[in-house]
Chains A and B, each alone.
Chain A
């Protein structure tokens, strides 16, 4: 299982990558493995406002539906539309295939998230 070092993580198994004031949000390797084959994803729309801890997307595997929570607050500037036709990309490479790109409201929210090491330890428990 992979835990890239340059990302922030949540207890609900999302990751955040920060680049030039924007945050990319996706689900972790642990999350995709636990879900199994992902068959459908319900995406938000551009300019939707996300607030930290709120559900903003839903991922469906054969077995069940699972909410995706916003790790940080911000406005959606881009949605990964490839996932609509190929939701299995999240199984194939959960870190390459982000779900949304948002403009961060408050960078200090990142302080509440976990490092790769902390997240890896949590996932092993």
Chain B
């Protein structure tokens, strides 16, 4: 199993570890709930070094990235970040990721750990442009500092005014005496930063942040999932996949069907004009219990979908889920039932934003 540069720190901090995307990663250090609430109310720091970093360089880098991405890369300015999808011809998703624009000839794609190799191979295959694709994953470590106190904490270690790094932008700045790429992004619905740098520099920063800030907790993959879930951020393989398009999942805001061309555009345009047959919706349980990923959803006797992610949401104290459901059972307020082991529980369709984002 692969280890990140922070692996030794996780062990030293007593983390519960698990295999994720080929890496030995922390699930939680103290308790999942405590870490979850720390990010909502104060701050938490995650090791996300397993994420993939793919660099695209060259004269036609903009044309190339715009061609493989559902969102509009041509409208990006330098130091801007854009979220979107890389789709197959049929509109299914290869991966969802962030594109960082350094300049017209230099982009950084930060992709899901489990998809890095697949994405890199796909990009190479699609590259008929005057551009070079490089997999730089092993050169970077990355941490995510998230929560309402993230800015205040990070500001102690840099001369750069962090207020100048606005939401979904980045800069290359000195923090703790070393150079990092710092972006105001995250996957939790809270304000915060993602910080990329050399392995040793990131390790030193991670350790120092935790040693000197009592309000900050180390956070594992467990609460990373509950946090993203509560604010309806999709997770590849759950809400989106090669079989679920971004439109079906409800992320049309990151799909620019008006731009000239991109991989998967024809299929998505067709899907939209014909009308979606199914959608990812929110479910709130009426009966007791918890509905989990994979559970089947019924309308009367008929199976009409499945749960893509489900939890007793820590910020709400309610059992809620996202589920891929066939129309017309996707209307808000519709009552469906979910098979939990041998019994059926009642659930109501609702919006999937279970918790309001508080990003700056």
Contacts and interface: CB of A to CB of B under 8 A. Distances in A.
Nearest to A42: B289
A39 B290 CA distance: 9
Interface string A32-70: 000011011010000000000001001011111101000
A63 B222 contact: yes
Contacts of A63: 27, 32, 222
B33 interface: yes
Contacts of A61: 32
Interface size class of B (residues with CB under 8 A): 10 to 19
Contacts of B319: 40
B312 A40 contact: yes
* Residues of B contacting A: mostly: mixed
Contact of B290 (A36, A37, A60): A60
B311 A62 contact: yes
Contacts of A37: 31-33
B314 A62 contact: yes
A62 B32 contact: yes
A36 B311 CA distance: 14
Nearest to B310: A65
B312 to A, nearest CB: 5
Interface size class of A (residues with CB under 8 A): 10 to 19
* Residues of A contacting B: mostly: strand
Nearest to B221: A63
A42 B31 contact: no
Interface in B308-360: 311-312, 314, 319, 340-341
Contact of A64 (B16, B292, B340): B292
B141 interface: no
B312 A36 contact: no
Nearest to A58: B341
Nearest to B16: A36
A60 B312 contact: yes
Interface in B216-272: 222, 226
Nearest to A34: B16
B341 A62 contact: no
Given A58-B341, A62-B314, A36 B222 contact: yes
A29 B215 CA distance: 30
B222 A62 contact: yes
B114 to A, nearest CB: 18
A40 B290 contact: yes
A39 B341 CA distance: 17
Interface of A: 36-37, 39-40, 42, 55, 58, 60-65, 67
Closest 3 CB pairs of A and B: A60-B290, A62-B32, A39-B312
14 contacts: A36-B28, A37-B31, A37-B33, A39-B312, A40-B312, A55-B341, A58-B341, A62-B32, A62-B312, A63-B27, A63-B222, A65-B290, A65-B341, A67-B341
